Structure 1
Amino acid sequence: MCLPRVCFRKMGKGGHSNPPNQASADTGKGKNQSNRVAHGYSLVKGAANHPLEDFHVAEYRSVGNHELGLFAIFDGHLGDSVPAYLQNHLFNNILNEPGFFKDPVNAIKKAYSSTDQMILDKAAVLGPGGSTAVTAILIDVKHLLVANIGDSRAVLSRAGTAVQLSVDHEPGKPSERASIQNKGGFVLNMPGDVPRVDGQLAVARAFGDKNLKEHLSADPDIKVEPIDLSTEFLILASDGLWKVVQNQEAVDLVRKIRDPKAAAKRLTDEALTRKSKDDISCIVVRFR
């Protein structure tokens, strides 16, 4: 898939950037210039005694004669500096990769890697924390490229059927455990707890986390999905939603809600009703 050189002019009423220490709850919506795509988002702070560590991107950009939709959820840990950095830099890094125009999948992989290195190099400023990520790039409302590291998730509704486009990178999975162990790390599952890298982190892949980086990966899984008449909407959300709501449940809950902002809020409200204690962030992208 070849694309022309990037122009960074934003399009439509895309979502805004949330600064560090953002409000405990945030909602909004927007649409692209052709009115063929509309999105809404909802972010809610969890029970932990720290600022909201979930950040998002929801915006549109022109790329020559092409139209891009850029959507992401970044779920931070040990602070909000890394997800805030990703919010401001990751998509620019992806689109500035020279290979993006001929091979977007390879460009995304390179940009994830280079961005992770930038974060590690800035650890003295950004701190020791890290972040998961799930990103979606919509090209001309024809192709969707979803990439992720960690356990934030992308779920597509096709004619009412939930299709998971991302991969949950959990330390307890055999492939992830083997990767961690091959790098000299270990996975510890304390009684009553989830498997953790070196007994600390509950995801096997993440940006940042300098103290664990030797045993962590920042390599994304990437899925390219066509957009056709059966494609109804996309849900991007942090694990604050997915810990308590199954993929098909999420699709069923919001399939009949036409307003994507209302749909995103419906999902975060449901997670709260089900006693989710984590930060909860959600974007719903509806195709028309």
Structure 2
Amino acid sequence: MEKFCCFSSASEVVGGQASSRSGKGKSDEGEIKYGFSLVKGKANHPMEDYHVANFINIKGHQLGLFAIFDGHMGDKVPAYLQKHLFSNILKEGELWVDPRRSIAKAYEKMDQTILSHSSDLGRGGSTAVTAILMNGRKLWVANVGDSRAVVCRGGKAIQISTDHEPGTERASIEYRGGFVSNLPGDVPRVNGQLAVSRAFGDKSLKTHLSSEPDIREVAVDSNTDILILASDGLWKVMSNQEAVDVARRLREPQKAAKELTAEALRRESKDDISCIVVRFR
């Protein structure tokens, strides 16, 4: 599955993967360019974010594959997702017939596999936001957790993904037998531990967590300028519109991605910060 990962020996390497690079594909209206930037946070642990950013041609179709995987309690789960999630989405050919079902099945299978291999992968977990660009015309965006996908149409930021936070999914967590803590000075957490309500892995909390993705279909039309995928290290300190404004100002998507991660650092984001910018026009 390494063909889905976009690394470069000339790029700075963080956490075992390239931290910055660009690439491009094609649509009926010209080139589609992308760039990404990954920056390790200030926490005292190795980089736990992983990504996919690449174009592939398969069965006469061009697919743009983009993802951010934000790990917690180790980097083995996001690294595993980086290598295997898209291959599972594509494996049975169902993507061309029923994209929503294909993506949902792959997410479920990945979670089950991660849980069953916890002796090797550990008891940690990962959020995910993924985007599949089909022939430059249609996006299928899915996510679990609080990494986010935002598109720009006519200069306006539109959030595509759903932030899965314990405070907003309290009823589901409590129905599963868990609880949501609300300690002063802290964010809501599942059983006082995890700050997201959906994730891959997290074996000790799985009975109280969901790994079901929210899935959205988005048409890419002449007004669609930019797609941004980023981990919560960016979104904790920057609004959707602020991120879009930066990406629009810098026409090269790699420069835009690097500026977004740099700005998040300037705003004192403490988390790992990962960002992919795709420019359609």
**TM beyond 0.5:** yes
**TM-score normalised over the length of structure 2:** 0.94
2:6 matched to 1:15?
A: yes
Give the partner amino acid of 1:15: C
Alignment of 1:167-186 (within 5 A): 167-173=162-168, 176-186=169-179
Partner of residue 192, structure 2? 199
Q: How well do the aligned residues superpose, as a CA RMSD in angstroms?
A: 2.0
**1 CA distance for matches of 2:280 and 2:180?**
41
**2 CA distance for matches of 1:192 and 1:112?**
33
Structure 1 residue 50, shift from structure 2 partner = 1.1
**TM-score normalised over the length of structure 1:** 0.92
Question: Is the Cα–Cα contact under 8 Å of residues 14 and 40 in structure 2 kept in the other structure?
Answer: no
Q: How many residues align?
A: 276
Partner of residue 27, structure 1? 20
Identity of aligned residues (%): 61
Partner of residue 253, structure 2? 260
Partner of residue 110, structure 1? 105
Question: Is the Cα–Cα contact under 8 Å of residues 20 and 80 in structure 1 kept in the other structure?
Answer: no
**2 CA distance for matches of 1:271 and 1:143?**
29
Question: Is the Cα–Cα contact under 8 Å of residues 250 and 256 in structure 2 kept in the other structure?
Answer: yes
**2 CA distance for matches of 1:163 and 1:180?**
28
**2 CA distance for matches of 1:190 and 1:180?**
17
Q: Where do 5+ consecutive residues of structure 2 fail to align?
A: none
Q: 1:266 to 1:144 in 2, by over 3 A?
A: same
Alignment partner of 1:255: what SS?
Answer: helix
Partner of residue 66, structure 2? 71
**2 CA distance for matches of 1:164 and 1:260?**
19
Q: 1:19 to 1:86 in 2, by over 3 A?
A: farther
Partner of residue 5, structure 1? none
Alignment partner of 2:245: what SS?
Answer: helix
Alignment partner of 1:224: what SS?
Answer: strand
**2 CA distance for matches of 1:254 and 1:15?**
20
**2 CA distance for matches of 1:61 and 1:254?**
24
Partner of residue 86, structure 1? 81
Q: 1:20 to 1:125 in 2, by over 3 A?
A: farther
Q: Where do 5+ consecutive residues of structure 1 fail to align?
A: 1-7
**2 CA distance for matches of 1:85 and 1:224?**
25
2:235 matched to 1:242?
A: yes
Give the partner amino acid of 1:112: Y
Superposed CA offset, 1:133-155 (max 9, x none): 00000000110000000000000
Question: Is the Cα–Cα contact under 8 Å of residues 16 and 57 in structure 1 kept in the other structure?
Answer: no
Give the partner amino acid of 2:246: L
Give the partner amino acid of 1:228: D
| Structure 1 range deviating more: 238-247 or 58-67 | 58-67
**1 CA distance for matches of 2:145 and 2:198?**
5
Structure 1 residue 41, shift from structure 2 partner = 0.3
Structure 1 residue 19, shift from structure 2 partner = 8.9
